[in-house]
Amino acid sequence: MAARRPRLLAPVVAAFLAAVVVVVVVVVVVVGLVPSGGGTAADDRALTGTDWVLDQAASGVAPLVPASRVTARFASGSLTGRAGCNRYATRYRRSAATLRVDPAVATTRMACDEPTGRLEAAYLARLGAVRAVAVTGRVLTLRTGGAGPLVFRARGADGVPGEGR
């Protein structure tokens, strides 16, 4: 009768397989095969694959300055756009329906006329208070803690011009 070998191989194989699984999960997340941030792939595409224009009236921003375009573009944790007359950039984090915008917003420093400057200040203040996101068709709603939602329409949708300030 042959002597039995000790079962040292089983724990080594189990540890190796566990390490392989960890590496595969990390690669999948880093490469982006699984949407990071907890939203579905369709949610992420709708948010990040669109140029958004603020609907000033639906958002209740004051003053209304129809000649000034406020825009937003989401891409890989960066939020950029035009706040009236200045460009802005900040970071955001998303997890399912939760969206947090970093209140530290960098802007250019162009001189704005008084109504556009007030619009810009009101928009940027509310942007830092965003807590939730919803995309319904061609409408993006950013909900704030209490200042009322910011409502955007996809550029080119519902009469939103494709170009402009």
pLDDT in tens, 127-136: 999 999 999 9
pLDDT at 31: 31
- Does 159 fall in a domain? no
Number of domains into which the chain is organized: 2
Give residue-wise pLDDT tens across range 56-100.
999 998 889 999 999 999 999 999 999 999 999 999 999 888 999
Whether residue 163 is contained in a domain is answered as no
Per-residue pLDDT at 42: 56
Per the CB < 8 A criterion, the answer to whether 155 and 50 are in contact is yes
DSSP 85-144: SSEEEEEEEEETTEEEE-S--EE------HHHHHHHHHHHHHHTTEEEEEEETTEEEEEE
In a domain? residue 138? yes
Domain of residue 16, residue span: 7-36
pLDDT in tens, 106-128: 999 999 999 999 999 999 999 99
> Do 11 and 81 lie in a common domain?
no
Residue 141: inside a domain = yes
Domain annotation covers residue 93: yes
